Structure 1
Amino acid sequence: MEDQFVNVVIAVCVLLFAAKLMAELFVRLKLPIVLGELIAGMIVGPFAVGALFTINGDSVVRLGSEIKILGEIGAIVILFMAGL
């Protein structure tokens, strides 16, 4: 249980760091920050890095149910902020 919590915290920290890094890059390129954060999520998530790098046929990046729930909450917050 405790090991699973540590894995979730590490995954969230990596995602937040990547999102902040891409947001700063997009500010310098004078593009919307949200776009940079979304692209960072796609790059770090299981669809790019996870699809390219596997260990024994298993993806390096795994989305647990906790991360999926946090992602859905994040999507809802973005929709509310956009006024939808």
Structure 2
Amino acid sequence: MITGHLIVTLILILTVAWFMGRVFARFGLPVVLGELLAGLIMGPPLLGIVNASEPIELMAEFGIFFLMFHAGLEMDPKEAVEHI
């Protein structure tokens, strides 16, 4: 069940991640670094603004899965083998 607190938390996470991504893009850095930094800052390791509830943890797991999937799509297997 989605509660009001969960919706507010999701809006906060998405807004700050989007903003940090734009700031990093403005400086010519990868957007994903800004988004990851936003999660690190808001999460339990630093400020603890967002507490890890079960739905948030589930979405984080999906996010990590899709990030790794996207990285795999961008990778050239021949180039990866050359660096082993």
1:75 is the counterpart of 2:48:
no
- Partner of 1:56 in structure 2? none
Q: Which amino acid aligns with 1:71?
A: A
- In structure 1, stretches of 5+ residues that fail to align are 51-59
What pairs with 1:1-84 in structure 2 (closer than 5 Å)?
Answer: 5-50=3-48, 61-83=50-72
- In structure 2, stretches of 5+ residues that fail to align are 74-84
In structure 1, distance between residues paired with 2:38 and 2:24: 11
Stretches (4+) displaced over 4 A: none
Q: Which of 1 and 2 has greater Rg? A: 2
Identical residues among aligned pairs (%): 37
Q: Which amino acid aligns with 1:18?
A: V
Relative to the length of structure 2, the TM-score reads 0.79
- Partner of 1:53 in structure 2? none
**Alignment length (residue pairs):** 73
In structure 2, distance between residues paired with 1:33 and 1:27: 5
Alpha carbon RMSD of aligned pairs, Å?
1.6
- Relative contact order: is structure 1 or structure 2 higher (C-alpha 8 Å, sep ≥ 6)? 1
Of Structure 1 and Structure 2, which has the larger fraction of its residues in strand?
1
